[in-house]
Amino acid sequence: MARDYVEQIRTVQPDGPYHLLGWSFGGLLAQHMVVLLQRQSHKVGDRGHSGQPPAAQPLRQHG
């Protein structure tokens, strides 16, 4: 899901910085998207979580 969202965002805005905000599960999803974008050497600006503490460990990428 995070990979698909990153692709969709990049079709609208090919270059960063990207500003992401997520609430509850969306906070974890936004954090995963930040990791994916940074691994692709894209700049990430503001990021926020609302209603969900940040993940204690980086999310692992499957597949």
Q: Are 28 and 20 in contact (CB under 8 A)?
A: no
Please say if 41 is a catalytic residue: no
Catalytic residue among 17, 19, 23, 24: 24
CA distance linking residue 62 with residue 47, whole number of Å: 23
Catalytic residues: 24
